[in-house]
Structure 1
Amino acid sequence: MQVSNLQAGYGGTPIIDELTTSIPEGKITTIIGSNGCGKSTLLKACTRLLSPESGGVALDGRSITQMPTKELAKTLAILPQTQQGAGGLTVYELVSYGRFPHQRGFGRLTRTDKEKIAWAMEMTGTTDFADQPVDGLSGGQRQRVWIAMALAQDTEMIFLDEPTTYLDMAHQLEVLELLQRLNREEGRTIVMVLHDLNQAARFSDHIIAMKEGEIVHAGSSKEVIQCDILRHVFEIEAIIGEDPMTGCPMCMTYHLLQQKQTAPLKQAVNN
């Protein structure tokens, strides 16, 4: 996927402007940056949830704006930051919605549909509660069900906006290990937004660091999780070490830059 000179925003206010980047095929790409820097906007533009003001996004050389909706839905799936209520649906019923782009006529599930649903539920460990209502599941279980629905869509690319939000540490790890397994074993291209730098470093092949709608740096975790880059992107002073379990870079500790720490105090004194 290639993003070229992209300008996108809301209500006429641009959030990202003249942004150009690429998403490597068959890899896990994570977008990092402070709140409001344009991470989710980029994700939405890449999945056609948001129309660009100018520039565009191409998939295998074709503009996604020119692709029929069902064709695009067979190529990429997105799990937004906030999912809509399941409305009393069972786990199986919700996962089956992922087959909609492949259905014809009255939308009856075919043999292939049922096989894909069963595979998606097996991959995500949701088979045992197929008949349970989604609303009655724990946060981690619900997240796995939504991922199962995206898997049932049977796409080459899966986009996720903060998939670990509101989950405890164990469930965060569970979701990220699942995504890593999908990438390694199934060859799926994963693109996600994460706030945790150590999770991004551990689970990503490619990281895009953003600030104020622009890309500051893109590359491997070792290339991006660097003191000077984190200083620029987050305005923090960090100590970077090596994760003894994975060998990935690890943010050991950090603090706000001195000028950022003292600015509110100076303002209060002046007032």
Structure 2
Amino acid sequence: MPDRKPIILTRSCGTRIAVPTGASVLDAFRAHGIAHASVCGGKARCTTCRVRVLHGLEFVAAPGPLEVDALARIGAPPEVRLACQLCPTADLTVMPLLPADATAEDVMGKGGLDGREGEVAVLFVDLRGSTTLGEARLPYDVLFILNRFFLEMNRALVATNGHYSNFTGDGLMALYGLERDDPAQAVRDALAGAKSMLAAMERINRDLATELAQPLRIGIGIHAGEAIVGTMGPPMAQIVSAIGDMVNTAARLEGLTKDYGCSVVISRHAAELAGLSLPAESLRTAVVKGRAEPVEVHALDRIS
């Protein structure tokens, strides 16, 4: 019986390699020592390995659910596929869409991203009306008030197993659930942190009553789900933070506290994950910027 003709994969630069049966384009590149971007390690959890199919697209199988979801997030056209999911069954010509010498190690080294995927709870808190603080005060007087605010917020985090992540101008981002894999407890801790923050604001307003024309207020957003968590940023200023759709949603929920005139907005998903029993009248259906589907949330004035 004659040998089966090998499948030939051609790169846009002219390099031709043989592809073993059942192997992906990314596997073939690696087998031949060709560097190719793949931050997630070839799990269809990113789009850095994407390629444009120049010839042979008609012989390529339709993408699976993971690849469809990943490519939809960047609005990729039909000829763009993930190298980690694309398994040639006939000769194929592709063009890498990221630098050919960018490897996972390059991207995940110092000054890039060194992370893992996991379920965490994210809390955003923002100081309301902080821009008006400087209208009738000297800059150092404003700095004194803001430093007191951040001191109290950080104390609340430390006391409830939270981790300070990012400074966001007039507020901060915090992560819960970094120490152990228990998403439900992470949400409960985040709510405890929010409760502690609200109590801290009462103390600040009481202590600075003679300094403030009106009491300071905060808005808090809480959400939970999968995110990439790890060290990020430039080499000399790295932080432990999280990125992903869930994080963006949490930030939007904090913004909804202005629309609803409340102190805390928590997603229904996070509340149910923690086994919370919240009043039905607090439930809202919110249109969140950046999401195609509405998000069900609870708008709360206080946390019991």
Asked whether the two chains share a fold, i.e. TM above 0.5, the reply is no
Structure number with larger C-alpha Rg: 2
The TM-score normalised by the length of structure 2 is 0.24
The TM-score normalised by the length of structure 1 is 0.26
Q: Which has the higher helix share?
A: 1
- Greater RCO (Cα-Cα under 8 Å, separation 6 or more): 1
